[in-house]
Amino acid sequence: MSTEITKEFTFEAAHHLPSVGDAHKCSRTHGHLFRVEVTVGGEIDPIMGWIIDFADLAKAGKEVIGALDHRVLNNIPGLENPTSENLAKYLFDRLAARIHGVTAVTVHESPTSKCTYRPGGQVARPTTVQIGVSGLSFAAAHVLVFPNGEREPLHGHDYRVSVSAWIAGNGPDNAQEILRAATVDAIADLEHRVLIASKPAIGHVEVLQDVVKLVLPGETVVLPRSDCTLIDTTSTATEALAALIAQRIADSAAIADLKVSEVSVSLLEGTQDLVKSTVKC
């Protein structure tokens, strides 16, 4: 299983393109609200349930991308010709020097134009057809427990779910409906629940008739049993949830009948923190 997380940043800057000729509108100095997506890939930490803390990615992103805010990009060494392509590579090189596992940087120069720099390109898949579903969501609460005994307060998110699957040939006419139904089933017990990792990084979970107890070194968190869904993981971080949903979809009998070779789940927590988990079938 491969997993990627993506965090979005913004900055506002001016630039012009010196090589396009005087007749081109981009030869004139102008400005944009740039949106930048930074993607990090790697193995999910078995204790924490994440690849990297989004807070660490946010810090590095603000240091690198924030340095471009309210600047003329052409005046920055290395960005004398600040096309989206050159800007994406510029940011990738500097972010990769600070964060291990950076796999791609995408620069949105406008609401309809973007460029992704991903060294090494994509691995070619066998001849397959991609199908996908989007527009699904669930709302859930959770608490993250850390190995040092600390925990986050109980809090919640809206999660938006998108799924892609690759199938041999064209598949049946209702392949997309089958994938949507499998996804709905995979997230059904997460909707409007408190998500509890059954094997937390520290302490333990007790499931009683009416309550669930999260027993930690300094406290016990007690929740109504009817409010909770126990997840067979060490964490309820977004990476762990995306991996769980992807595996549930891949394991469903309906998906097996489609002869799916790969399932990829993108899980957006809030508005800026995106996780992508892929399962080979």
Which member of 109, 239, 262, 269 is catalytic?
109
Distance, CA of 33 to CA of 108 (rounded, Å)? 8
Which member of 26, 32, 115, 281 is catalytic?
26
| Residue 188 backbone phi and psi in degrees, to 5 | -60, -45
Known catalytic membership, residue 219: no
pLDDT at 122 over 70: no
Distance, CA of 113 to CA of 10 (rounded, Å)? 15
What's the number of CA atoms in the CB half-sphere (13 Å) around residue 26?
A: 12
Known catalytic membership, residue 157: no
Q: What local confidence, expressed as pLDDT, does residue 169 receive?
A: 67
Distance, CA of 269 to CA of 271 (rounded, Å)? 6
* Mean pLDDT value across residues 89-105: 95
Known catalytic membership, residue 26: yes
Span 164-220, pLDDT tens digits: 988 876 677 888 999 999 999 999 999 999 999 999 989 999 999 999 999 998 899
pLDDT at 1 over 80: no
- Burial (Cβ within 10 Å: 0-12, 13-18, ≥19) of residue 112: exposed
- C-alpha torsion angle, residues 209, 211, 214, 218 (rounded to 10): -120
- Greatest Cα pair distance in the chain: 75
Query: Domains plus CATH for the chain?
Result: 2-117 (3.30.479.10), 128-280 (3.30.479.10)
pTM of the model: 0.75
